[in-house]
Each structure stands twice: as C-alpha cells, then as structure tokens.
Amino acid sequence: MQPFALNYARPAVELAVATPYAYDSGLQLNVLGDGRIAACDHALLREVGTTTSTAGSKTHFDD
Amino acid sequence: MTVLILTGEEDVTADMVVVHLNGSGVPVVRLDPADLTDGVSLSAEYVHGRFRGHLSAGGRLVSINGLRSVWVRRPGAPAGHAPHPSAWLTEEASQALYGMLRGCDARWMNHPDAARQARHKPWQLRLAQRCGLPVPATVITTFPRAAREFAERFPDLVVKPVSGAHPQDPPRAVPTSRVAPDTDFSAVAFGPTLLQRRIAKRADIRLTVVGETLLAARKAVRPDADPEEVDVRFAAPGSPWEPVEVPARTADAVRAYLRRAELAYGAFDFAEDADGTWWFLECNQSGQFGFVEVETGQPIARTIADWLSRPIPEEPVKLDEAGSTVR
C-alpha cells in the first residue's frame, strides 16, 4: 500500500522548452545567442517559464 | 566588499539580481557548490589566531573576510558535479565550504540553520498561528481514524505533502488536491498525511518579503475556473498576477514571522476568501519571485540586490569600566 498523499500524484511535467540562453562565466549571467542578457528580456522569461513557481522539482521544493 | 551568490548556472532568476548588483558597481562572485573541485576552489588557514580564507570560481578570487553578504539561492549539492561524486565527498565539501562561510561576518539570505528550520511545514503552521496569521484547520496524522474524524468535522478538505517534496522514483508531482468526503483513509497509516480545510478562495496571494520590504501580488480566481484545481501551480493560465496592498495586520504578522524565523527572505502563499481574509498556506524561504516581477513589474530583484549590497553592520564598541575599548 502506498501513502495516502500519493493517491493524488501525477507524472512530473518537465519543461518542454529548451532555454535559448547559455551561462557566460565571465559575465556570471545567462546570455542569448545575440549577446543580450536573458534576464533583461521579460517577455522571454514569461515564455520559457524558468522563473515560475513549479512543483515536482528534483532538487528544490522552496518554490 | 563582495556579494557571494550560491546557485546553479541555469538560475536565470538569480541573473535578475546580478544585473542590479552590476548596475550598482557591487562586486559579485557567483558559484555553484556542486562545482567544487571542478571549477570552484576553496582554501582557508587558521594560523596564529587568525583566519584567512578564499574562494575561487570562473577566474575570480574572493576573500571570505571580504564578503558583505551570502545569498543562498539555489545551490547544488557540494561537489555534486565532481568527476567522482560520492556522498562522502559531498559531506566533506559541504563541511569545508559552509563551515568556512559560517565563520565570516557577512549577512545571510538566508542562514542555512534558519533555512533548514523554515522548510518544515508543520513548524510554519505553528509559527504562523503564533504570529496571528489565520491558518486553515489542519491535521497531520498516521491514524486513519483521526483522518476520518477530521473529515467529518471539515468535509471540504485538501491533501498536500507534509514536506513539499515530490517523489522521484519515478518523478511525480503531488499537487494540493481536493479529497472527496467519502474517501477511504486507510492508506493514511502508510505515511504522515496532511489534510487541511479547503479555503474557498477568490484569489491566490504571493507575498514576497525582503528584509522589511513587503511586495504582494494577487491572482484572482476566474469564475469559470475548475473547482477541482486548487493548486495554482497546476491550474490553467488564468488571471494575471497584479500588485496588491498588504493589510496592516497581515504586514505586522508577516514581519513577526520572519523575525522569529530569522529569515531575511520569504515568499508567503495565502488564499484569499470571499471575506477578503488572507489564509496562511506556507512560507517558502527560497521561493521563486521572477514570475511575479515579470508580470507585475514589482521591483523584487532590485530590493534583493539592495539588501545584499548593504554594508556589514559595525560591531558595537563596548567600553570597560576604565573606558578602554573592548571588542
């Protein structure tokens, strides 16, 4: 028998969108292909959802 | 004096703060403890009554004594990316890194001891009660009978994980879910179960607190929302997050909560009922804030940067009976 709460579990949904930025260790920031700083593009952040409170994270549950 | 940020490279939310620190000319060293021994290095000496320690990452070198603040954002497990990771190496790396950092005078957001305590949701509920925040009736039990009796008293219930963690084998998520009144509670015996009276909410509230600054956002529940979807993280996209004023009593209670929890940062979740009461659900000591700032324009990242940038308070000077300075 499994714990009661797991009766309500559902498959974790992984982010389907590949992030269009990469970390630049010199800047200590993630940058887009054209060199712009990803964090300054709020429309992009909204689209990729990487700043969003989620559930099912493998490493963090302080969302 | 430098701000040390402990987080992963992919943490673009931390980037939002780094941008402001860069704009203010505040030195930043950002590293992921997971990269220890493979991209991140440390060294410390305790000799002749003195301490000297350094961290190195990405070609930057920072003195531990030169840190003004430490932001524990989303750090990986120390040495987790090492070529030959092991539980032993992670413990060694953790003791070395955090042991060194604990010895410095920098301000923490949040201190590891406070963070560890603050993750306990049952403790959160009790602290919220003590601070005067309304808390929905809750039971945490392994007794099926206790769960049944609670359901008789509060027929409209939700269940949620006690820890907030989610099972990984296989990866699953356990959203806050409604529990039918005629549910079989026998499985409560197989794991601590948190049942809570459902708040018929008209909005979700995310209140982000940085030091003494409160920034609240409200997401109204749409009239056509699925009543079975009670967890905003899983609900279909609905109304946008919008800035909202914090009621004075809630503001006082929340500040008391953070003071007693010894937290510099907290992201509170409330459910707003039809009377406008904000019911405390939880406080995430490292809760996400980027999505709120992106939607509302609230200056959360700047407020965090400002907090991290503050100088270390000077040690109060004491005078002995002869008037000499005592440190």
Q: How many residue contacts between A and B have a Cβ separation below 8 Å?
A: 159
In chain B, alpha helices (H): 12-23, 87-102, 112-118, 121-130, 144-153, 248-261, 290-296, 300-309
CA B219 to chain centre: 20
Does residue B214 lie within any of the structural domains?
yes
Total number of domains constituting chain B: 3
- State which amino acid sits at residue B102: R
Of A4, A28, A53, the CB nearest to B30: A28
- Residue A6 in contact with partner chain B when CB distance is under 8 A: yes
Look at A51 and B165 and tell me if their CB atoms are within 8 Å.
no
Look at B294 and A61 and tell me if their CB atoms are within 8 Å.
no
* A58 has pLDDT over 50: no
Nearest Cα to Cα of residue B123 among B163, B66, B86, B152: B163
Same domain? B166 vs B208 = no
Q: Evaluate whether B17 touches B71 at the Cβ level (below 8 Å).
A: yes
Of A10, A30, A58, the CB nearest to B12: A30
- B31 to chain A: nearest residue by CA? A28
Where along chain A do its domains lie?
A: 4-48
In this prediction the ipTM stands at 0.87
Q: Work out the percent of chain B whose per-residue pLDDT is above 90.
A: 85
Print the domain residue range for B268.
201-309
- Can you give the pTM of this predicted structure? 0.92
Chain A nearest CA to B31, separation (Å) = 9
Confidence of residue A51 (pLDDT cuts 50, 70, 90): confident
Could you tell me the CATH number of the domain that includes residue B169? 3.30.1490
Of A11, A25, A46, the CB nearest to B294: A46
The residues pairing with B249 across neighbouring beta strands, listed in sequence order, are none
Nearest Cα to Cα of residue B184 among B230, B147, B228, B154: B147
Give residue-wise pLDDT tens across range B227-258: 778 887 777 777 899 999 999 999 999 999 99
* A56 has pLDDT over 50: no
